[in-house]
Amino acid sequence: MKRFIGFVRKEFFHIMRDRRTAAILFGMPVLQLLLFGFAIRNEISEVRTGILDLSHDVVTKKLTDKIFSSGTFVASAVLNSGKEIGKAFASGKMNEVIVFEPGFAGKLQRDGTAQMQVITDGSDPNVSRIVTGYTESVVRDFLREKSNAAGAPVGVEAVPVMKFNPALKSVYLFVPGLMAMILMLVSALMTSISITREKETGTMELLLVSSLKPIQIIVGKVVPYLLLSFVNVLTVVGLAFFVFGVPCRGSLALLLAESLLFIMTALSLGIFISSITNSQQVAMMISLAGLLMPTVLLSGFIFPVASMPLPLQAISNIIPARWYLVIVRAIMLKGAGIAVLWKETLVLMFMSLLFMTASVRKFSERLQ
Amino acid sequence: MTQAVTTEGLSKRFGKLEALRQITFSVPEAELFGLIGADGAGKTTLFRILATLLLPDNGKASLLGLDTVASYRQIRTRIGYMPGRFSLYQDLSVEENLDFFATVFGTTVKENHELIREIYDQLEPFRKRRAGQLSGGMKQKLALCCALVHRPELLLLDEPTTGVDAVSRQEFWQMLGRLKQQGITILVSTPYMDEASLCDRVAFMQDGRIMAIDTPTGITRLFTKPLFAVRALDKHRLINELRAFGYASSAYAFGNAVHYTDLRLSPEPQELAAWLKSRGFDDVEVQRIEPGIEDTFMALTESSRPEQEPSDG
């Protein structure tokens, strides 16, 4: 046991002495969360809008006022003809142009319907969709107020409610994904590098000749990163809650326990990688290309798994982050318990066990 | 006398390269045994097999009476191994490295302080310094300390003095002598011929074979040809001229002279001097000398060459 503690202490020295490692370990989670939380957002706070009013009547005037009073839309230009629309978009000054048809108020009065056109910049489909949605909801509001005043509610209205995230905040989406990504990076990448480094510098030769058992070496490498990753989980959850107001609706203890499980999975993957490679470079490449990329792209972090083509969906099943993501979202945002998540938990357990056994077996007590 | 190391027909190949061919030798307890040979002679492979880190393709080796394949675990706790490359943690301090290797072997620095005291005293002033920032000599002393910290019965030192300054090399060998007196068997490899004479016995390795094993003086006795030291101002041209001489066997630079051997049994130095004078060396000086260990190794290397590279004329 003493030997083991000595080994773990040495690992901590390595981590703390290497400023770059320490910076990555502790700086990255904070930096990434702030980056994703503040800079990279799906919601749009300022829709620069141009109005092409071909009707110039009371209703279009009122509707325009209504749009700009919401705070989301900013009047950017008043256009005089349809020819100016293309130019306005090309210059990039405009997110949206609203066109009212001639005789807008009259038609609305007479036929009960009038046409307005919402033109958005299709080169950025995400922004376009969101902007169009905002505009529609403002117009819907306006019509409801108008008909309420008239005292004659007509028609069916679908009122969308976004459960668990009514404001559709993108931080809610990023936090679970970010947790998966950071843990993958810290646990898998760092352990695989730290073991291959010993192989590269020749110290592994000495460790092997010492009376340490392989399992002691492996567990000794795992323990420090397990603790550090756990600190990272606490940091991310804490920051998410205090800075961005992301709640943890389910049991915090369960969330932490599941995170520990995911850390174990990532660590065993990292050790497995290091047991099949001999250089830090290769270990890093495998970790980045083989683990980090799929974690970002195929886990459902950014692109929903359900909308992927079938082969990719199949691949996503073997990515640990996919299962962890389901767990974190369910616990944090939906307040789900283990009764719902037992399947995902089992998958992660199975994966950890598999990689751990494989790496203990592959770990060679001699040089190749 | 009990043998600390015995090997029998050890062979190892890496793909096409035969790193070791039929290595058989033994080292009695408390001997300082040297392995001499150029880079690529197979010294490191031999050390790794002895340190239980590599499996031989053929043959057997046993250390302290234990088989290197079957009883590798027991062997590992009883030997001290110093790899050829500096292999300590560069980002840990001198003290931390020592403490680490002590705990890993289930002991403490204090417990074995008296064994490493002499070396450690020299490291003491740099106790807090990172191992990566030590000088070459200091690094090797630290590595030796780490290899000794668990009081091994046998030391395997793979080129411990390569890249170390002359003074540190001398100090290092003095330490080895004292460790030997404490009853520790030492196997040490070196590319420096002058260090060979400090061993009890030496084995000369080349191309994976042991060419000769003997005491340093015994090895020099293998050198039978008369040897001459030839001196002249233009050493480079001198070597070329000597090699062109009809009876020349070998000529190579040695310090400020050229060592020359002749094909004949009893050549006359005057004849050689006269011939060289005729070739324009007015200041030439020819002297018969006793061969040193280095001359012997050069001769052993030369004599094995034609067999290895028959195409090389």
The reply to whether residue A13 touches residue B92, judged by beta carbons under 8 angstroms, is yes
> Is residue A192 situated within a structural domain?
yes
A364 interface with B at CB cutoff 8 Å: no
Which of A194-208, B34-48, B257-271 shows the lowest per-residue confidence on average (mean pLDDT)? B257-271
Determine the 3-state secondary structure of A94 from DSSP.
coil
Q: What is the pLDDT of residue A74?
A: 85
Q: What is the pLDDT of residue A168?
A: 67
Let me know whether A145 and A261 are in one domain: no
Q: What is the pLDDT of residue A263?
A: 93
Let me know whether A298 and A334 are in one domain: yes
- Rounded Cα distance, B258 and B256, in Å: 7
Distance, CA of A135 to chain centre: 26
Q: What is the pLDDT of residue B156?
A: 94
Model confidence pLDDT, tens digit, residues B200-248 = 999 988 889 998 899 988 888 877 778 888 888 888 888 888 888 878 8
- What is the CATH classification number for the domain harbouring A93? 3.40.1710.10
Q: What is the pLDDT of residue B153?
A: 93
Is it the case that residue B34 has pLDDT exceeding 90? Answer: yes
> Is residue A155 situated within a structural domain?
no
Determine the 3-state secondary structure of A363 from DSSP.
coil
Q: What is the pLDDT of residue A150?
A: 59
Q: Which CATH class is domain B224-290?
A: alpha beta
Is it the case that residue B9 has pLDDT exceeding 50? Answer: yes
- Give me chain B's average pLDDT, please: 86
- Give me chain A's average pLDDT, please: 85
Q: What is the pLDDT of residue B24?
A: 94
The reply to whether residue B92 touches residue A10, judged by beta carbons under 8 angstroms, is yes
Q: Which structural domain range is residue A29 located in?
A: 2-40+169-362
Let me know whether A100 and A6 are in one domain: no
Torsion of CA B50, B51, B53, B56, to 10 degrees: 10
Model confidence pLDDT, tens digit, residues B73-105 = 899 989 999 998 888 999 999 999 999 999 988
Model confidence pLDDT, tens digit, residues A271-330 = 899 888 888 899 989 888 888 888 888 888 878 888 888 898 888 898 999 999 999 989
pLDDT above 70 coverage of chain B, percent: 96
pLDDT above 90 coverage of chain A, percent: 14
Question: Of A183, A331, A188, nearest to A272 (Cα)?
Answer: A188
| Whole-number Cα distances in Å, A254 to A178, A341, B195, B242 | 18, 10, 66, 86
Let me know whether A186 and A211 are in one domain: yes
Q: What is the pLDDT of residue B200?
A: 93
Let me know whether A244 and A303 are in one domain: yes
Q: N- to C-terminal Cα distance for chain A? A: 28
> Is residue A163 situated within a structural domain?
no
Identify which of A7, A212, A367 has the shortest CB distance to residue B53.
A367
| Whole-number Cα distances in Å, A129 to A116, A123, A126 | 17, 11, 5
Q: Where are the alpha helices (DSSP H) in A47-169?
A: 58-69, 83-90, 104-111, 125-150
Let me know whether A90 and A228 are in one domain: no
Let me know whether A35 and A56 are in one domain: no
Let me know whether A255 and A195 are in one domain: yes
Domain end marker among A88, A115, A150: A150
Domain end marker among A85, A117, A150: A150
Question: Of B119, B304, B296, nearest to B194 (Cα)?
Answer: B296
Is it the case that residue B311 has pLDDT exceeding 50? Answer: no
DSSP state of A183: H
Identify which of A3, A202, A367 has the shortest CB distance to residue B104.
A3
Q: Tokens 């719902």: give the residue.
A: A340
pLDDT above 70 coverage of chain A, percent: 95
* Complex prediction ipTM: 0.78
Let me know whether A351 and A327 are in one domain: yes
Let me know whether A251 and A266 are in one domain: yes
Q: What is the pLDDT of residue B235?
A: 83
Determine the 3-state secondary structure of B19 from DSSP.
strand
Beta pairing, strands B285-289 & B227-231: antiparallel
Q: Which CATH class is domain B3-214?
A: alpha beta
Q: Which residues pair with A119 in a beta bridge?
A: A97
What is the number of helices (H) and of strands (E) in chain B? 11, 14
Model confidence pLDDT, tens digit, residues A52-66 = 888 888 888 888 888
Is it the case that residue B32 has pLDDT exceeding 60? Answer: yes
> Is residue A76 situated within a structural domain?
yes
Q: How close does chain B come to A10, measured CA to CA in Å?
A: 7
Is it the case that residue A166 has pLDDT exceeding 80? Answer: no
A202 interface with B at CB cutoff 8 Å: yes
Report yes or no: A103 and A113 within 8 Å, Cβ to Cβ.
Answer: no
> Is residue A157 situated within a structural domain?
no
Q: Which residue has the higher pLDDT, B247 or A263?
A: A263
- Rounded Cα distance, B244 and B278, in Å: 14
Beta pairing, strands B58-63 & B66-67: antiparallel
Residue A3: pLDDT band by 50, 70, 90 thresholds? confident
The count of domains in chain A is: 2
Q: How many CB pairs under 8 A join A and B?
A: 80
- DSSP assignment of A2-58 equals HHHHHHHHHHHHHHHH-HHHHIIIIIHHHHHHHIIIIIS-SS-S-EEEEEEESS-SH
Contacts of B79 in chain A (CB under 8 A): 209
Q: What is the pLDDT of residue B309?
A: 42
Determine the 3-state secondary structure of A121 from DSSP.
coil
Domain end marker among A122, A150, A178: A150
- C-beta neighbour count of A86 within 10 angstroms: 11
Q: Helices A170-183 & A320-334, crossing angle to 10 degrees? A: 140
Report yes or no: A321 and A181 within 8 Å, Cβ to Cβ.
Answer: yes
| Whole-number Cα distances in Å, A116 to A100, A122, A232 | 5, 18, 50
B266-278: burial string, b at 16+ Cβ within 10 Å, e else: ebebeebbebbee
Strand order in the sheet with B66-67: B17-28, B3-14, B58-63, B66-67
- By CA distance, what is A12's nearest residue in B? B92
The reply to whether residue B51 touches residue A202, judged by beta carbons under 8 angstroms, is no
- By CA distance, what is A366's nearest residue in B? B53
The reply to whether residue A207 touches residue B104, judged by beta carbons under 8 angstroms, is yes
Q: How close does chain A come to B138, measured CA to CA in Å?
A: 18
Residue extents of the structural domains in chain B: 3-214, 224-290
Pair of tokens at residue A32: 């990434």
Question: Of A172, A130, A112, nearest to A138 (Cα)?
Answer: A130
Residues comprising chain A, all counted: 368
- DSSP assignment of A267-285 equals HHHHHHHHHH--SHHHHHH
Q: N- to C-terminal Cα distance for chain B? A: 46
Q: What is the pLDDT of residue A43?
A: 64
Question: Of A43, A76, A69, A240, nearest to A141 (Cα)?
Answer: A69
Determine the 3-state secondary structure of B254 from DSSP.
strand
Let me know whether A224 and A350 are in one domain: yes
pLDDT above 90 coverage of chain B, percent: 37
Model confidence pLDDT, tens digit, residues A19-61 = 887 887 888 888 888 887 777 666 677 888 888 888 888 888 8
Question: Of B69, B81, B107, B104, nearest to A365 (Cα)?
Answer: B69
User: Average pLDDT for residues A206-221, to the nearest whole number?
Assistant: 86
The reply to whether residue A13 touches residue B96, judged by beta carbons under 8 angstroms, is yes
Q: What is the pLDDT of residue B312?
A: 37
Question: Of B40, B36, B119, nearest to B80 (Cα)?
Answer: B119
- Rounded Cα distance, A323 and A346, in Å: 10
SS3 assignment for B22-46: EEEEEEECCCEEEEECCCCCCHHHH
Model confidence pLDDT, tens digit, residues B246-278 = 788 888 888 888 888 888 877 888 888 888 888
Identify which of A3, A212, A367 has the shortest CB distance to residue B54.
A367
> Is residue A162 situated within a structural domain?
no
A208 interface with B at CB cutoff 8 Å: yes
Residue B308: pLDDT band by 50, 70, 90 thresholds? very low
Let me know whether A60 and A107 are in one domain: yes
- Rounded Cα distance, A13 and A17, in Å: 6
Q: Where are the alpha helices (DSSP H) in chain B?
A: 43-50, 72-78, 94-104, 113-123, 136-148, 166-181, 193-196, 216-221, 235-244, 269-278, 293-308
B10-40: burial string, b at 16+ Cβ within 10 Å, e else: bbbeeeeebbbbebebbbeebbbbbbbbeee
Report yes or no: A59 and A86 within 8 Å, Cβ to Cβ.
Answer: no
Model confidence pLDDT, tens digit, residues A102-124 = 888 888 888 878 888 888 888 87
Report yes or no: A354 and A269 within 8 Å, Cβ to Cβ.
Answer: no
Q: Helices B235-244 & B269-278, crossing angle to 10 degrees? A: 110
Pair of tokens at residue A95: 């997110």
Q: Which residue has the higher pLDDT, A147 or A314?
A: A314
Report yes or no: A263 and A182 within 8 Å, Cβ to Cβ.
Answer: no
Report yes or no: B229 and B273 within 8 Å, Cβ to Cβ.
Answer: no
